[in-house]
Amino acid sequence: MQADARYDGTGIAIDIEWATDEPSRAFVDVGLTPSYELGQVSEAAFLTEHVVSAFTPQTGDVIYVRIRAGDALGNQATSMLTVPVRACGGL
């Protein structure tokens, strides 16, 4: 799993990439706290290569991410991680 969070002067852009061994659909919760208050991004299809992006105009030092994925049979898995926010865009 790879995750990147960067502050570009207007907000934080978040990109998360990962692979699963069988097709699954994912729901990704993001937040500045473990309450994941910034919302959820979901995939519309069952995939094995996953890429999810989100943006918030807020600032912070860390983004909390929770990924909930499930296959067509209803098997589910959850992963959680914290991603440090880095500055970019000439800051």
> Residue 88: pLDDT above 80?
no
The predicted pLDDT at position 91 comes to 40
The predicted pLDDT at position 90 comes to 45
> Residue 53: pLDDT above 70?
yes
The predicted pLDDT at position 58 comes to 84
The predicted pLDDT at position 86 comes to 83
Strand partners, 18: 50
